[in-house]
Structure 1
């Protein structure tokens, strides 16, 4: 086996016994159905949450990128953000956490004023 996990296989094989093929196929079908059921419900829940986000009071801020949000929340200083689009270099810019925090507070004030 790859990655040196041979000890796991030896441990499982030493502590378990073989089962008949028909029983293994039955459990494979059951587990695959359970996996499908859980995955389908998770996907449906995520779609429902996205569709009803506005009703639940969740606001997606499209003006702030994920990198900017991470810099703002961590409070880093003198950070360079590199922008890449489809594996091609677009540009870079230096940002400060205080600058992003002030922009974020301005956006929140605008949102609060528009919702009132």
Structure 2
């Protein structure tokens, strides 16, 4: 009887330990997939900002050139819980420097041709500059 109880207890421990390992591995894989997705989005956003979008011609990370800095954009959009994507689609009003809006309008032809995923990646990249 003691042997049977020992065997049942041993099997229970093995099953319990296996399920913990399985859950642990699953969480680790989910975290890895999430960080890979976030990294890919950040890279895409930077590529669009510096390349196809030509945003870098007017916006720098920490200084105003023609347009506001990325730090200023990120700060204001986060504070106001506003959408950069909607602005780039020309579906919302400018909230940082409306006097520069006419200059920015020339770039809407570029941003309107981008997919929602590209615009979201661009927004995520910009929002990463908030302090």
Question: Shorter chain as normaliser: what TM range?
Answer: 0.3 to 0.5
Higher share of residues assigned helix: 2
Higher share of residues assigned strand: 1
Identify which of structures 1 and 2 has the higher relative contact order when contacts are C-alpha pairs closer than 8 Å and 6+ apart.
2
TM-score by length of 2: 0.36
